[in-house]
Amino acid sequence: MPFATRPRTATLRELTRDGLGVAFAPHGEHWRQLRKLCVTELLSARRVRSLRRGREAEAANLVASVVASLSSAPAPPKPVNVSALIATYVTDAIVRAVVGDRIRDRDAFMEKLDEGVKVAAGFSLADVFPSSRLARAFSGAARRARAHHREMTRLMDGVIEEHRKRRAAGAGNDEEDLLDVLLRIQKDGGLQVPLDIGTIRAVIIDLFGAGSETTATTLQWAMAELMRHPAALRKAQAEVRRVLAGERRVSEDALPELRYLQLVLKETLRLHAAVPLLLPRECQEETRGVLGYDVPGGAMVLVNAWAIGRDAASWGPDAEEFRPERFEDGGAMAGVDFRGTDFEFVPFGAGRRICPGIALGLAVMELGLASLLFHFDWELPGGAAPEELDMAEGLGITARRKSDLWLQATVRVPVPNV
């Protein structure tokens, strides 16, 4: 509770001028209401299941695009940019969940989303030195953010208008996307804090911002770790092919049976917390003692989830090693989970501000990884040894890979309709 609010930095004041979403809202009624909407309506397990058809279609596009890049390459097979394919799959899957797959100006919309992540990253200087006028004057980030925000608002308004028209025309039989849900709730009314258009826009942008890059980064690291650890790759692949034997493609029905694949993702989340410092918190009390330190009211508090996940004091001498087996029944860390009760493992945060998108993120990652492992065998280009794979991290709000992951793919289970 003393750290359940977020700081109002220069960046955030700028980015949220005409509407506040959930991720950066200060603790209070506005946040409480949107948070409840996220947990009970937008990102609940039931809602995530209801969006499954769209996810499966995007996973089918992912495997088709691997095949397409193989067939367009001259023999011997050219490597495939797995990072780029994963980023496209995840963005498409999240965008489809949030606003559906039939939006006009789709390309411009996707481009702006991508730009948003870069704009946000450019802000760090002014936020870390908030009192430095120099930092703000020279960063140029505020100006870029305003321009980006204007363009995003224009595109969002178009998407909202399309949705409204479709609803008014009674096209209600389709799968409801998350924007449909918000518009329905807005129309029904009865909320203490009304859902105005600025708030709806901000929530939608939050869902993209919080959901795409994080999920894509984690999935890219999972593939990279599997390439570094051939025994784990073989084990995960054998499991997928055993569970799906005789099937033509991966369906979500199979996901609960892919126990080892789930542990691969869990171990990836431990070593590669996608948001290494979580989202900033602020101390709401006059002072608060934490581990022997007095944290003054108003201080920004950053939690280093990345370091916590690699701490040998919690994880043992092999803390830096990728070993999904540590979570297996009977393994050293069998019961430890990332859902906010085990403080040595907090890639999604903990407490009131814990990520509400865990179920959606996991569904997208499990389906994508299972699809890549089911249809293809993977090798490092040019017969490189696993330990030669570059595992460097780039700089930014998320801990993404510094270099793209290029791999050679061989089709093992044919991809239907390609």
CB 16 within 8 A of CB 123: no
SS3 162: helix
Please give the span between the terminal C-alpha atoms of the chain, in angstroms, as a whole number.
53
Size of the site for ligand HEM (CB under 6 A): 28
Among 215, 220, 371, 408, contact with ligand HEM (rule: CB under 6 A): 215
The one catalytic residue among 9, 11, 16, 214: 214
Contacts of 138 (CB under 8 A, 6+ apart): none
SS3 307: helix
| 101: its two tokens | 């797959």
The alpha carbon dihedral of 405, 84, 153, 190 has a sign of: negative
Question: How far does CA 394 lie from the centroid of its chain?
Answer: 17
264 makes contact with ligand HEM (CB under 6 A): no
Closest distance to ligand HEM from the beta carbon of 12 (Å): 12
Whole-angstrom CA distances from 242 to 245, 323, 390, 409 are 5, 22, 31, 20
The one catalytic residue among 3, 345, 348, 376: 348
Among 12, 20, 22, 250, contact with ligand HEM (rule: CB under 6 A): 22
100 makes contact with ligand HEM (CB under 6 A): no
Among 360, 367, 372, 405, contact with ligand HEM (rule: CB under 6 A): 360
Among 10, 23, 160, 380, contact with ligand HEM (rule: CB under 6 A): 23
Closest distance to ligand HEM from the beta carbon of 222 (Å): 10
Nearer of residues 36 and 150 to ligand HEM, judged by Cβ:
36
Nearer of residues 58 and 136 to ligand HEM, judged by Cβ:
58
125 makes contact with ligand HEM (CB under 6 A): no
Between CA 351 and CA 93 the distance in angstroms is 27
Between CA 18 and CA 32 the distance in angstroms is 19
The one catalytic residue among 355, 374, 376, 398: 355
Q: Is 214 an annotated catalytic residue? A: yes
The alpha carbon dihedral of 159, 164, 165, 166 has a sign of: positive
Q: Spell out, one character per residue from 279 to 308, where the chain touches ligand HEM: x when CB under 6 A holds, - when not.
A: x-----------------------------
Place of tokens 């070993």: 323
179 makes contact with ligand HEM (CB under 6 A): no
Among 14, 30, 32, 35, contact with ligand HEM (rule: CB under 6 A): 35
218 makes contact with ligand HEM (CB under 6 A): yes
Between CA 1 and CA 352 the distance in angstroms is 7
Q: Is 283 an annotated catalytic residue? A: no
Closest distance to ligand HEM from the beta carbon of 411 (Å): 28
Alpha helical stretches, state H, 124-140: 124-128, 133-139
Query: Quick one: DSSP state of residue 320?
Result: T
Residues catalogued as catalytic = 214, 348, 355
Annotated binding site for heme: 355
Could you list the residues that contact ligand HEM (CB under 6 A)?
A: 22-23, 35, 38, 43, 94, 206-207, 210-211, 214-215, 218, 274-275, 278-279, 347-350, 353-357, 360-361
